Structure 1
Amino acid sequence: MPTIRPYRSEDKSRMQELCVRTSNVENDYSEDWAPYLMLTYNDYYTEHEPESCFVLADDNDVPVGYIICAKNCRKWRRIFRREYLPKLKQYKEKFTLFEPVMEMVLHSLFALRYPAHLHVDILKEYCGQGYGVALMNTLFGHLRQNGIPGVQLCVDADNERAVKFYLKNGFKILAGNSMGRVMGYRLK
């Protein structure tokens, strides 16, 4: 039976793999797609806030899902702009920088009430079994211990299953349009 544990540095490559494998995008883009995704949605968290990353590990202790978090959106934005956006620019001919830039803007809009933001990725065969809720509860306990009053996330508009999941688990829609939703959860 899978268990939840803190992230360890040796999990990094597997978490990057999960980031790509759980992407909603059906793509035949190129070998550049994986590094673009990892830079946008994964690497900051394991490199700068590993204490806010938790892994769902199978019986062999291999990660099959994870939840990663930045406790402070403003700190994340500052570091992301300085370290990751320049790396992402090498992909601008193939992929838009709209998503990473919009994430920075959207997270900033709600940073006072929801200073933390998260990403969750779980392999399909482990979805629908309560592991997403368990990962969130683990992270929420960590955030409460650190005095964080709220957490937010961005969800693609096409991912109705995720929107329903977050609403069912107490998140509220803070903003949305045809591209996606920003959702927030108050911890205090």
Structure 2
Amino acid sequence: MEEISYGPGTTIVSQGQVGDAIYLILSGAVQVVVESGAGKSEVVAVLGPRDWFGEMALLSGEPRSATIETVKETILWRLRREDWDELIEKHPILLRPVCTTLSKRLSHVDRQYSSGRAAFTLLAEEFYASLSPDEQAFFRQVSLLGPADKATLIALVRNHALTKLVTEFGYSQFPLIRHTENGKYELHSFFREFLHEKL
């Protein structure tokens, strides 16, 4: 196990990296930052002494699911994959607290997902109910497409009001419609599922 000191504002691991170590915080604090597909980042947790991170990527072999940055001067212990495997082989009881932490984190994520999904469903219902029958039909058609550019969307419209609706997509901050980096538009996956139920 290796002890490492980091100054404030230091990135320890980055989202998307291969996980090769688990970290235990001895002192200080780190923030867990998740980057969304829209290029925005959100702090989802702050961890302090006796907390650890990096276990999910280490155990699953998947890329890291978040970026970890120090909030202040922080001292960590880093345990590399080979040392972790050897430690667990000799002392399997050490897996118990890791499994407990994983279970709590997954439960928290599940609650957040359920709450977010319920909010999106309510928003989708209100938005859909506010549309004219032609607009509803248009969105049902769009739900069958992947990301599409404005010209493709305009080709689907049947009247001037719908053309105006598509034109306004470019200025929309509405969470059910996303503007991708390559200039295309797509429906949020929850909204798409909602519309599929209307087909």
The structure with the largest alpha-carbon Rg is 2
TM range (shorter): under 0.3
